[in-house]
Amino acid sequence: MKKTVKLMLLTAIVFGVWSFTKTEKAIDNGYKVGDYVKDFKLENIDGKMVSMSDFEKAKGFIITFTCNTCPYAVAYEDRIEALNKMYEEKGYLVIAIMPNNVKVKPEDGMKYMRARAEEKGFTFPYLMDEGQRVYPQFGATKTPHIYVVKKTDKGNMVKYIGAIDDNYQNADEVKNKYVEDAVNALLNGKEVNVTETKAIGCSIKV
Amino acid sequence: MKKYCLIIVVLLLDCNQEKNNNNKSATVVKTEESKAETVDLIVYDYNTLEPLLNKKDGKVYVINFWATWCAPCVKELPYFETLNKEYQSKNVEVILVSLDFPKQYEKKLKPFIVNKNLKSRVVALNDVDSNTWIPKVNKDWSGAIPVTLIYKNDKRAFYEKSFNLEELKKEVNKFLN
């Protein structure tokens, strides 16, 4: 009897410690402005694998960590599509990556991503970060979280990290279009003025 | 030996109590809508919120940034509620700063406050220019929620992570003499 009780307590302690460490996950590393981005190979909603190297003519990319379920990400869906429409032909296309653990957020699963993309008419790749290996390399912490990268001889260099603009509630009241400003500067051969911004978002589900 | 058994009995009782509470909350739901209208929600922009994050009255403030749509936030709310109740006598106050969208205040936030029977002070922050105010809360905050700020006078600590009760108490205890 005594042994059983001790065992029960031990199990409780071990379980307690385990759940404690599980909440400790934090990302301190990740790309900074000026770093080169490692290419990825992730499955698109059409079943094909997509890498940055597939787009030979691209001048750069607007890498967008986003998902179906975060209200902030949803608030930006139309603006992400607008960015792709505006810049794809000019050489900067949007590549969206869904970073959440679909076991935690089943509504972010591939079939839901496909449905959402069809419903909203997304014209950009919407990739699943299978195994959640890519977002930690970037150091993304939330959705939406944007990385503008420029193609150079040495690789794809990070030029901007942060928010799309400064008003998640109302696209009509935006004062600063951070991503547009960054891409416009790069297209004009200039340096990006504001290279990093902060915005509220949903933590990536691990 | 007796002690161990007692602990387990207490744990079991605890579970039962929780069940009862759930039953109770089911009856509350009916009147939820009418009650939600009576919730006084103070809405701040960052400039008016800032004094709440910088009081120098010797009290320990535990400021949690959350939203009803944020699952990990909702999951850890009971721990903050427990802390607020158990540490009131130790001069600790929990303030829950909601980042829900303004259009959700009536539809979601207020009913949530009533339904979950939140006793801690809940305020709302409505300030779209997050790039300006996020670094003022903490320079290392990426913008993801939940986050928690614990401070007493000039001593401050910031956590971009989820808490469990044990760890929350451990961090707050560091601020108690």
Is A205 in CB contact (< 8 Å) with chain B? yes
Q: For residue A150, which phi and psi values (nearest 5 degrees)?
A: -110, 135
- Sheet with A142-143: strands ordered across: A142-143, A201-203, B144-145
Nearest chain A residue to B103 by CA distance is: A169
Query: Can you give the CATH number for the domain in which B68 is found?
Result: 3.40.30.10
Mutation site for A-interface testing, chosen from B10, B46, B104, B128 by largest number of A Cβ within 10 Å:
B128
CA atoms of B164 and A28, how far apart (whole Å)? 21
From chain A residues 34-53, the ones with a CB under 8 A of any chain B CB are none
What is the distance in angstroms between the Cα of B70 and the nearest Cα belonging to chain A?
A: 7
Which amino acid would we find at residue B121? R
Question: Per the structure block, which two tokens stand in for A145?
Answer: 């979280």
* Nearest to A205, CA basis, from A98, A96, A70, A101: A101
CA atoms of B111 and B118, how far apart (whole Å)? 11
User: Tokens 């909350």 map to which residue?
Assistant: B25
Other beta carbons less than 10 A from residue B93's beta carbon: 16
The pLDDT of residue B177 is 74
Domain count, chain B: 1
What is the distance in angstroms between the Cα of B114 and the nearest Cα belonging to chain A?
A: 22
Q: Which domain holds residue B56?
A: 2-18+26-176
What is the distance in angstroms between the Cα of B132 and the nearest Cα belonging to chain A?
A: 8
- Over A115-160, what HEC string results? HHHHHHCCCCCEEECHHHCHHHHHCCCEECEEEEEEEECCEEEEEE
Region A96-114: mean pLDDT is 97
Which amino acid would we find at residue A151? K
CA atoms of B158 and B160, how far apart (whole Å)? 7
User: Please, are residues A117 and A45 in contact by the beta-carbon 8 Å criterion?
Assistant: yes
* Rounded alpha-carbon distances, angstroms, from residue A98 to A53, A117, A123, A157: 19, 12, 16, 21
| pLDDT > 70 in chain A, percent | 86
The pLDDT of residue A1 is 54
Nearest CB to B131 within list A105, A166, A169: A166
Is B78 in CB contact (< 8 Å) with chain A? no
Q: How confident is the model at residue B1 (pLDDT cuts 50, 70, 90)?
A: low
Mean pLDDT of chain B: 87
Between strands B121-125 and A60-65, the pairing is unpaired
Mean pLDDT of chain A: 90
Is B34 in CB contact (< 8 Å) with chain A? no
Mutation site for B-interface testing, chosen from A203, A204, A206 by largest number of B Cβ within 10 Å:
A203
Q: Is ipTM over 0.90?
A: no
Q: Could you give the angle at the alpha carbon of B170 between the alpha carbons of B153 and B54, nearest 5°? A: 20
Is A24's CB within 8 Å of B161's CB?
A: yes
Give the helix ranges, DSSP H, for chain A.
2-22, 71-87, 110-120, 134-138, 178-187
Q: Which residues of A touch B163 (CB under 8 A)?
A: 23
User: Please, are residues A65 and A204 in contact by the beta-carbon 8 Å criterion?
Assistant: yes
Which amino acid would we find at residue B106? E
* Nearest to A145, CA basis, from A199, A86, A70, A75: A199
Is A3 in CB contact (< 8 Å) with chain B? no
Between strands A201-203 and A155-162, the pairing is unpaired
For the stretch A159-185, pLDDT in tens is: 999 999 999 999 999 999 999 999 999
From chain A residues 180-199, the ones with a CB under 8 A of any chain B CB are 197-199
For the stretch B102-125, pLDDT in tens is: 999 999 999 999 999 999 999 999
What is the distance in angstroms between the Cα of A164 and the nearest Cα belonging to chain B?
A: 11
Nearest CB to A23 within list B7, B141, B164: B164
The pLDDT of residue A11 is 56
Rounded-to-10 torsion of CA B3, B4, B8, B14:
40
Is A170's CB within 8 Å of B160's CB?
A: no
Secondary structure of residue B134 in the 3-state scheme:
helix
